[in-house]
Amino acid sequence: MKKTKKDITILAVGDNSDYDTFKKFNKEKRIFAGYGFDYVAIDYQRLFEGKAPQINTDKIIVFLFFPFYYWNKYIEHKNYKGVYGNHNFQRKFLRFWDNFEKKTKRYFADKEILFINEPRLCAEYRDKFRISRRLDKFKIPQSRIYKITSIKEIKNKLAKGHQFFLKPRYGSMGKGITFLSQFDWRTNFIYKDNRIISKRSDHGWKFKDVTGQNDFLRQLLKKDILIQEAVESPIYKGNKIDIRVYTFFNKVLYIYPRRNKADRVTTNISQGGQGDPGLLKFLPVSLIKKVKREAIKVSSRLGITLAGIDIIPEHNCKDLHVIDVNLFSGFPKRRRFNITQSMAKELRRLHNKDKLHFRKSNG
């Protein structure tokens, strides 16, 4: 590859405990050099301690990865009280990102900075209600959100054939999900001694039958949750299907269909789901085109540079619904698709066309 003058530094900020995206990203740092970028990585703790790295270029592109150290110590720590995904999670997460942005701009006051996803959006878009309102404003298809506070009302709707997912308002990774149909209630919260309990881990959130346990449902309805109509997804060879779309600067980089057994609650990888690119051959071309259009619309309208957008087609494979927007989505395995290389190539292309918009830090 032709050598290019290094006029921009890629600054990757993450934690070594990030076993997925940050680790995969760092392994590909030579790729950035090949496209003419300097590359520097630092963890959040060192940055907050004032140990900012030396940057030799005038321009910095900042990639943000999930701050596991801060999250595990100050938000979802082993002694926290309350149910997973509550408002206190969000309040602390917002404060973290506000502090991070102030410190970063102060450390690099003489530089021009481009954040791959603005720091505050990293917290604001963890709020599923906020995402839903924005999607609704721009008429992006999503399954209906309900404001239900009484067990009587929700049971009446279940009796009429409705099915719901109850999700923590500020949750992720399929944690704290509850599925409700008239004769089937399942949750991966722990319900013990008339109390809803959250696991203190990202793993092991297993679904259990809580059908007819009115006290559980009554308590859950009082928490910070989002109630969403369940969509009947396509079934292929005994598996339900949804699609993750990776977007970067309003361009689809990769489409990643996921599947799980039809009787499972979700297709999350953490819940036993599996990525299966071969499913693209099963899904209609017209559906894939619509999936791409809606994913680009989502990233554009929400002002997100890098996202993993989850879309579920209806069983007819014609209609679809956006079900989640992830600013810290896991990366596909390199042998399937090298997303880091694709991003490096796109950044160089955009910069050569003068389409990257840096902002001078005011310190």
Q: How far is CA 179 from the centre of its chain?
A: 20
Phi, psi of 275 (to 5 degrees): -75, 140
| Token pair recorded at residue 179 | 């599925």
Q: CATH 3.30.470.20 occupies which residues in the chain?
A: 128-142+232-326
- pLDDT recorded at residue 324: 93
The amino acid that residue 215 corresponds to is D
Q: What is the pLDDT of residues 185-224, one digit of tens each?
A: 999 999 999 999 998 888 889 999 999 999 999 999 999 9
Comparing CA positions, the residue from 310, 356, 304, 252 lying closest to residue 122 is 304
Judge contact between 89 and 169, C-beta under 8 A.
no
Q: What is the pLDDT of residues 88-131, one digit of tens each?
A: 999 999 999 999 999 999 999 999 999 999 999 999 999 999 99
Q: What is the pLDDT of residues 162-174, one digit of tens each?
A: 999 999 999 998 8
What is the rounded distance in angstroms from the CA atom of residue 175 to the CA atom of residue 183? Answer: 22
Whether the model clears a pTM of 0.85, i.e. scores above it, the answer is yes
- 8-117+338-357: which CATH number, 3.40.50, 3.40.109, 3.30.70, 3.40.30? 3.40.50
- Mean pLDDT, residues 295-322: 95
Q: State the pairing for strand pair 208-209/195-197.
A: unpaired
Q: 4 pLDDT exceeds 80?
A: no
CATH code for residues 128-142+232-326: 3.30.470.20
Judge contact between 25 and 63, C-beta under 8 A.
yes
The amino acid that residue 247 corresponds to is T
Q: CATH 3.40.50 occupies which residues in the chain?
A: 8-117+338-357
- Mean pLDDT, residues 127-155: 95
- pLDDT recorded at residue 3: 45
* Backbone angle region of 264, left / alpha / beta, with phi > 0 → left and psi within -120 to 50 → alpha: beta
Judge contact between 353 and 268, C-beta under 8 A.
no
Residues 6 or more apart from 219 whose CB is under 8 A from it? 195, 196
Judge contact between 294 and 322, C-beta under 8 A.
yes
Tell me 281's DSSP state. Answer: G
Judge contact between 327 and 121, C-beta under 8 A.
yes
Tell me 317's DSSP state. Answer: S
- pLDDT recorded at residue 5: 57
* Backbone angle region of 36, left / alpha / beta, with phi > 0 → left and psi within -120 to 50 → alpha: left
- Mean pLDDT, residues 153-180: 95
Judge contact between 55 and 111, C-beta under 8 A.
yes
Q: 241 pLDDT exceeds 80?
A: yes
| Token pair recorded at residue 118 | 């603005």
| Token pair recorded at residue 23 | 């680790």
- pLDDT recorded at residue 269: 74
Q: 267 pLDDT exceeds 90?
A: no
Q: 323 pLDDT exceeds 90?
A: yes
The amino acid that residue 347 corresponds to is L
Q: What is the pLDDT of residues 289-298, one digit of tens each?
A: 999 999 999 9
- pLDDT recorded at residue 1: 41
DSSP string, 240-268: EEEEEEEEESS-EEEEEEEEEETTSS---
What is the rounded distance in angstroms from the CA atom of residue 4 to the CA atom of residue 270? Answer: 41
Q: What is the pLDDT of residues 53-98, one digit of tens each?
A: 999 999 999 999 999 999 999 999 888 888 999 999 999 999 999 9
Phi, psi of 256 (to 5 degrees): -130, 90
